[in-house]
Structure 1
Amino acid sequence: MKIIDKILRKESLDNYLKTDSKFEKTIGPKDLLALGIGAVIGTGIFILPGTVAALKAGPSITISFVIAAIVCALAGMCYAEFAASIPVAGSAYSYGTIIYGELPGWVLGWALILEYVLAVAAVSTGWSAYFGSLLGGFGIHIPTAISGSFNPSHGTYINLFAIIIVLLIGFLLNRGFQSSIRINNFMVFVKIAIILIFILVGIFYVKPTNWKPYFPFGVHGTLAGASTVFFAYLGFDTVSASAAEVKNPSKTMPIGIIGTLIIATIFYVAVSLVLTGMVPYTKLNVANPVALALQLVHQNWVAGLLSLGALAGMTTMMISMIYGSSRLVYATGRDGLLPKVLGNLVGEHHSPRNAMVVVTIFIAFLGGFVPLDQLTNLVNMGTLLAFALVSLGIIPLRHRQDIPNTGFKVPGYPFIPIISALACIYLITTLSVETWIGSAIWFGIGLIIYFSYGIHHSKLAQ
């Protein structure tokens, strides 16, 4: 077999469905929405509306969020059609392997592993910092040596609480997804409640004069703001990773993906509207703009709740991303591209326990020891590449007679998938040179793994 035939061999949907049928189907629409909201709405809702308003968009930040949501929804609809048509574990990796072939699927999976792992590791360090601040309020101070990544010149050797929270979430997920879902749903409820409290309290201090001028940086500033806040919506793709464990996926998956984006947009716009109405946008370029707004109107008790909301937001994001990454690693192990032990479903709940353990340990190591300041920019590259290829994949998907779809279909075909892909490619071109170099190194490592191991151990090769 020629090398080109090997790398473009495609897996069949029937084989995936047969293998993934061992998963317990326990996730309903409400759980899926909570999983998506948990992944998308994090601490950014307390920060981005203020800083982007101050630097780029002014009060028109509300329109920036709507524009970003529309662009994200284009990719979201493409994910929803794939999830309804191909209800298997592995998200874009599995879609790519069925539609494009083995190597393109592997590249997609490798890109998403980068997104999930780095995102969780970065958030775990933020969680640790917030938790340290919370303890400091009670007079408990964490020793410097265990409060940051390995950097002896700054006196830090290990970020202990970042490791602990990742290991704890991994342990909970390994005990069965049902118990983890209940914890996630509760955390999402807490987070949404605190956001609603801010909106309901802050609305009484809104001064319409603060919304003038509405476009202080012009329409260009509003569009620049949309380009920045686009990344606030990333994470909804983790919903598609759960397809093999969802009841009635052809209907439930589109509800989870598109519903997540709609709800997230409503909250982002509402927070932006209230925040820029409470405080002139020029004063919002601070690390904690929402807390500042509340302190200026002497509502410090609500500002105190924000730390709790931030911790809840980061916890739900880590639950969703660790869950999604374990299913992704499971899928590559299932296909033999990584060691097959990672593709086993074990225990009474038939969960990918081995993949979960490996993912949890790797993320805990990164969060505990590795400085992630620059690496987190790579998340955007991996995500946008996946979005672009999934969007374009709708076109060959519609031509596959062996993949019936009686559920959701992207409207405006083929224009919306093409527009979605072009929008993602445009955003890729705006990423920094450092991000491009880091991504090239990451994908280079991925290709070495594929050609030295995956291509020879692939189940398709057998």
Structure 2
Amino acid sequence: MPSTTPLGQRLLRRKPVETLIAESAGNGGAGQLRRSIGLWQLSAIGIGATVGTGIFFVLSSAVPEAGPAVVLSFVLAAVTAGLTALCYAELASAIPVSGSSYSYAYATLGEATAFGVGVCLLLEYGVSASAIAVSWGQYLNKFCQLAFGLTIPDWLAQPPGDGGIFNLPAVVLVAMVCLLLVRGAGESAKVNAIMVGIKIVVLALFVAVGLTGFHTNNLHDFMPLGWSGVGTAASGIFFSFIGLDAVSTAGEEVRDPRRTLPRAIIISLLVVTLLYVAVAVVAIGAQPWQKFDGQEAGLAQILQDLTGQTWPALVFALGAIVSIFSVTLVVIYGQTRILYSMGRDGMLPARFAQVSARTGTPVWNTVVVGLAVATLAAFVPLDILTDLTSLGTLCAFAVVSVGVIVLRRRSPELRRGFKVPGYPVTPLLSVGFCVYLIRGLQPLTFIFFGVALAIAAAAYFGYGIRHSRLERATDASAVPERTFG
């Protein structure tokens, strides 16, 4: 029977915070995720999803846009990410559930906005995993060249548009990640924590060796393309910070989430920003900025050029292979948890909310996400994937910042383990920085984004609005009681 509730009310209906938290309670039972992740493992998820997302390959596209001033681009992207991270920390401590900004939007801005944010997160996690998988093949190729003198042919190691036909290494990477995720969140988090340690050591190696070839002459003509170039580069570089909100996707699998979630978000931000700025400064000082354009496995190549030996580049390429595996692992993990939350809310078919009784993981989600990510990585060029990821991420981040303001006004009494300092200026600045970076993306990105939103609207009005749990609850309360006699 068609709903009698006006369309406007259906689009704006919100899911009470108490309901979200109640649904996440009782973990360990059928259909529930298990709380098995502590502070270090959760911080490693944030660091693992972020470091390696772009730093291993983004310089080849960002430096030609900004020149040596790309360092300022990293700072600008880091400030934007930092402002938003504070907003995430407050909402994560107030609403410690899976789903990240999708769940926060459902509680603050309404169902239609939440579904749209869910699509932005699909772009952030699913598309970024594809972009990361593409770059993994570049470092795998570099390692094979240095270690064995072998080169994977471009037609088998690059997507169409980048000189190839089918990116086989990317598909292999996604398959390995999905097999690990199916085994369980706890096991995946432990493996990721080890890989995070490896990637920090590898980037520290790059900084140490790179400093030996640092030349201040490479910094001259610091801003050859002006401030507009800095802003444009920052828009693309923001791709490198997307993993920070992966921490909040684990809200239902974290022990003591009100304390652990905000701490892990802030720890991740500090570690990531320090590493990124250090790597950017050293890379710019070690090589003329004109040489970055189109350079594959660029950081490994810089080490090889500086030392004249293969072993530093070989070690770095191997570390990059491990690091990018770690990022892909966490990003696909985050995507599956968002689909789990949407399935539990009835916005997607119920199968997306099914959890394996043996492993406590959403196996169906993992298979679906793995197939989609592998397909994109195999056939779509890298630059399109990175810009789509940045746009989806920035939109989701802006919604979270607005959500902080809305929740403060609507539920001032709600228990919060962390509060944004400088409220309301901080969330407003976060929104402003996000909008500024969105303006710097290439026009083609907005066309693809519009297509994605059109598909989302069709999915929501064709399925989600009629099957959401709030819709069923409204219809049930509207049915009059039957009387007999």
Could you state the TM-score of these two structures normalised by the residue count of structure 2?
0.87
Q: Aligned in 2, Cα 1:377/1:210: closer, same or farther, shift over 3 Å?
A: closer
For the 8 Å contact 2:54–2:132, the answer to whether it is kept is no
Q: What do residues 47-80 of structure 1 show as CA deviations (whole Å, max 9, x unaligned)?
A: 445764454242x443432232112111111111
For the 8 Å contact 1:57–1:224, the answer to whether it is kept is no
Q: Which moved more, 1:374-383 or 1:432-441?
A: 374-383
**Of 341, 344, 347, which aligns to 2:351?**
341
**Of 304, 307, 310, which aligns to 1:298?**
307
Q: Aligned in 2, Cα 1:371/1:303: closer, same or farther, shift over 3 Å?
A: closer
Partner Cα separation in structure 1 for residue 53 and residue 249 of structure 2: 23
Q: Aligned in 2, Cα 1:194/1:436: closer, same or farther, shift over 3 Å?
A: same
* Pairing of 1:64-83 with structure 2 (within 5 A): 64-83=73-92
For the 8 Å contact 1:241–1:324, the answer to whether it is kept is yes
Q: Which moved more, 1:325-334 or 1:423-432?
A: 423-432
Partner Cα separation in structure 2 for residue 283 and residue 236 of structure 1: 30
Partner Cα separation in structure 2 for residue 128 and residue 48 of structure 1: 15
Confirm whether residue 190 of structure 1 aligns to residue 198 of structure 2. Answer: yes
The answer for unaligned runs of 5 or more in structure 1 is: none
1:423 positional shift: 1.6
Q: What do residues 118-154 of structure 1 show as CA deviations (whole Å, max 9, x unaligned)?
A: 1112222322343244334425555666445579x97
Secondary structure (helix, strand or coil) at the match of 2:251 reads helix
Partner Cα separation in structure 2 for residue 383 and residue 35 of structure 1: 17
Q: What do residues 396-426 of structure 1 show as CA deviations (whole Å, max 9, x unaligned)?
A: 1112338623311111111111111122122
Q: Provide runs of 4+ in structure 1 moved above 6 Å.
A: none
**Of 1, 16, 20, which aligns to 1:12?**
16
Partner Cα separation in structure 2 for residue 112 and residue 257 of structure 1: 18
Q: What do residues 252-276 of structure 1 show as CA deviations (whole Å, max 9, x unaligned)?
A: 1112222212111111121223233
1:27 positional shift: 1.1
1:440 positional shift: 0.9
AA in 1 matched with 2:318: L
The answer for unaligned runs of 5 or more in structure 2 is: 28-32, 473-485
Secondary structure (helix, strand or coil) at the match of 1:418 reads helix
Partner Cα separation in structure 2 for residue 159 and residue 212 of structure 1: 38
Partner Cα separation in structure 2 for residue 232 and residue 49 of structure 1: 10
Partner Cα separation in structure 2 for residue 35 and residue 439 of structure 1: 27
Could you state the TM-score of these two structures normalised by the residue count of structure 1?
0.91
* Pairing of 1:89-108 with structure 2 (within 5 A): 89-108=98-117
For the 8 Å contact 1:49–1:271, the answer to whether it is kept is no
Aligned sequence identity (%): 36
What is the RMSD of the two structures over their aligned residues, measured on CA atoms? Answer: 2.6
For the 8 Å contact 2:44–2:192, the answer to whether it is kept is yes
Q: Aligned in 2, Cα 1:345/1:13: closer, same or farther, shift over 3 Å?
A: farther
The residue aligned with 1:307 is 317
Confirm whether residue 172 of structure 1 aligns to residue 180 of structure 2. Answer: yes
For the 8 Å contact 1:43–1:310, the answer to whether it is kept is no
**Of 51, 54, 78, which aligns to 1:44?**
54
Confirm whether residue 328 of structure 1 aligns to residue 332 of structure 2. Answer: no
For the 8 Å contact 2:53–2:240, the answer to whether it is kept is no
The residue aligned with 2:366 is 356
Confirm whether residue 237 of structure 1 aligns to residue 241 of structure 2. Answer: no
Q: Aligned in 2, Cα 1:141/1:218: closer, same or farther, shift over 3 Å?
A: closer
Partner Cα separation in structure 2 for residue 74 and residue 211 of structure 1: 29
The count of aligned residue pairs is 459
The residue aligned with 2:40 is 30
The residue aligned with 1:424 is 434
* Pairing of 1:254-403 with structure 2 (within 5 A): 254-285=262-293, 287=295, 288-300=297-309, 301-370=311-380, 373-401=383-411
Partner Cα separation in structure 1 for residue 198 and residue 304 of structure 2: 21
